[in-house]
Amino acid sequence: MNFEQIKEINNSSAMPTYGRYDLAIAGGKGAVAKDFDGKEYIDFTSGIGVNCLGYADEGWADAVAVQAHTLSHISNLYYCEPTAKLTNELTKATGFDKAFLGNSGAEANECAIKLARKYSYDKYGEGRYEIITLNSSFHGRTMNTLTATGQDALHPACFAPYPQGFVYCDKDIDAVKGAISDKTCAIMMEMIQGEGGVIPLEKDFVNAVCALAKEKDILVIIDEVQTGIGRTGTLLAFENYGIKPDIVTLAKGLGGGLPIGACLCTAELGSVMGAGTHGSTFGGNPIVCAGASYVLSKVNSPDFLEDVKNKGEYMRQKISAFKNVKSIRGMGMMIGIEVENKTGSDVVKKGIENGVICLTAKTLVRLLPPLNITNEEIDLGLERLKEVIEA
C-alpha cells in the first residue's frame, strides 16, 4: 500500500478520535524512521515515550520473538516465568514491594486509585475515598483517570456523569492543604506534567506535599507513566526529588514498544489487593513481559542513565542557542521548548517536511527521543529542527 491508500482506508474505517499528521511510518531503525516513499526522519518522539530503545532494537526484538515462539499467552490463572521475572525485577530495581501488571498508563493509574481507596477503607472505614490531583495534570482517558486529569477542557458535558471522588488544586502547598478533607485518601501527581506542557514540579512543593501526606496518612501516588524508565536520567523521576512515594505507576517506555502498565507499591500496601480485587486478561502477558525485562536490563544501569542525562543536557544547550527559542523546560530527555513566533503544532508540521518528528505539549514543542539515540542522530535532528524554529 502507498500512503494515500493507507490514509483512505484508515479514515473510512477508524473512529476519527485522532487528529493525525500527514505521515505514515513504514519502519525504522534506532532513531531513524522511514515513510512509504523511503524518506527518512529523525524521530524525537519515541512514539510518545514508548520506543525507549528506538525502532527495531535487536535485543528487544529477539527477546520478544523468542517468547512469541515459546508461549504467547496463558492467563493469570497460572504462574508464568516472564511475568514472575518482570515483577521481581521491577520491585528489585525500584525498591517497591509489590507490582500489578496491566496494559496501559490509564490502567496502571486505575489500579493505583483502587489500591489507595481500599487501603483507606480497610483502615478507616467508609467515606475516605477522595484523591487530590493537580491542575494541568494528565492521568489517562478511562473515565476515572480522565476525571483525575486536572484539565477542564478534557471534561466536556457529553461524557457526563463523571465519577466522584477527585479534587483538583494548584501546585501550591496552601492549595493542597485547602483541598485535604476528612475524605482524602491520596494525592496523585506527575513529577513533570508531560501532556500539560512539560512542567516540572518544584522540589520544595513536592517535599512539603509528602511531609503533609505522611502526617495525615494520605497516600502519595506518583504517575511516572511518561517520566519513568530512565526518561529523566534516573530510573524514576521522583529520585530527583528525594522522596519515597507509597505508589508509583509506569507504562510507555517500560514496554519498549508493546503495551504494558505497572502499579508498584510499598510493603505496607503490598497485601491490600487480595485475590479477586483486581485483574486484567492481558496484564502480565509473557511476550510483553519478556520485552519489558529486556528494556529494564538495558535502562537500569548507571552508565545508561548517565548517558541520558548528558545527551539531554547537550540537546538543551544546543536548542537554547537557536534563534526564536523563548524557554526550555524539562529534565533528561524530556524536553519542552517554547518558541517565540510559532505554536508547537506549526513546528511539528514543518518538522515533518524537514525530516524531523517532534511532539507538542499544549503550545510547546515536546521532545521525547529514544533514550539510546546516537550523537549523530541528535545532531542531524537538531540541525533540521533549528531550520524550522529559526525560519
Ligand X SMILES: Cc1ncc(COP(=O)(O)O)c(C=O)c1O
Residues that bind ligand X (CB under 6 A): 104-106, 109, 138-140, 190, 194-195, 223, 225-226, 251
CA angle 291, 295, 298 (to 5 degrees): 140
Coil, helix or strand at residue 110: helix
Q: Which is nearer to ligand X, 238 or 322 (CB)?
A: 238
CB of 334 vs ligand X, minimal distance in Å? 10
- Asked whether the CA dihedral 106, 112, 116, 118 is positive or negative, the reply is positive
CA angle (175 as vertex; 173, 179 as ends), nearest 5 = 115
Residues 6+ apart with CB under 8 A from 67: 82, 286, 287, 289, 290, 291
Of 32 and 365, nearer to ligand X (C-beta) is: 365
- 3-class state of residue 148 by DSSP: helix
Residue for cell digits 527521543?
369
The amino acid occupying position 229 is: I
Nearest-approach distance from CB 101 to ligand X, in angstroms: 13
Helical ranges in the chain per DSSP H: 3-13, 46-49, 58-70, 81-94, 105-124, 143-148, 173-179, 203-216, 286-299, 302-320, 344-354, 375-390
Q: Which amino acid is at 117?
A: R
Shortest separation between residue 365's beta carbon and ligand X, angstroms: 17
- Closest separation in Å from C-beta 21 to ligand X: 17
Concatenated DSSP letters for 237-284?
GGGGGT---SEEEE-GGGGBTB--EEEEE-GGGTTTS-TTS---SSTT
Which of 305, 286, 279, 384 has its CA nearest to residue 69? 286
For ligand X, give the closer residue by CB, 44 or 322. Answer: 44
* CB-nearer residue toward ligand X: 30 or 194: 194
- Quote the least distance from Cβ 280 to ligand X, whole Å: 13
What gap in Å lies between CA 325 and CA 329, rounded to an integer? 11
Residue 150 is which amino acid? Answer: G
Q: Which of residues 109 and 136 has its CB atom nearest to ligand X in the complex?
A: 109
Q: At its nearest, how many Å lie between ligand X and the CB of residue 190?
A: 5
Q: How far is the CB of 1 from ligand X (least distance, A)?
A: 27
Q: What is the closest distance, in whole angstroms, from the C-beta atom of residue 387 to ligand X in the complex?
A: 29
Distance of closest approach, residue 143 Cβ to ligand X, in angstroms: 13
User: CB nearest ligand X: which residue?
Assistant: 105
* Shortest Å distance, C-beta 69 to ligand X: 27
All three cell numbers of 294, joined, read: 529486556
Give whichever of 120 and 149 is closer to ligand X, judged by the CB atom: 149
C-alpha 39/C-alpha 33 separation (Å) is: 8
Q: Which is closer to ligand X, CB of 30 or CB of 336?
A: 336
CB-nearer residue toward ligand X: 57 or 223: 223
Long-range contacts of residues 360-363, Cβ cutoff 8 Å, at least 24 apart: 361/194, 361/195, 361/196, 361/197, 361/198, 361/336, 362/196, 362/197, 363/197, 363/338
Contact yes or no for 188/165 (Cβ under 8 A): no
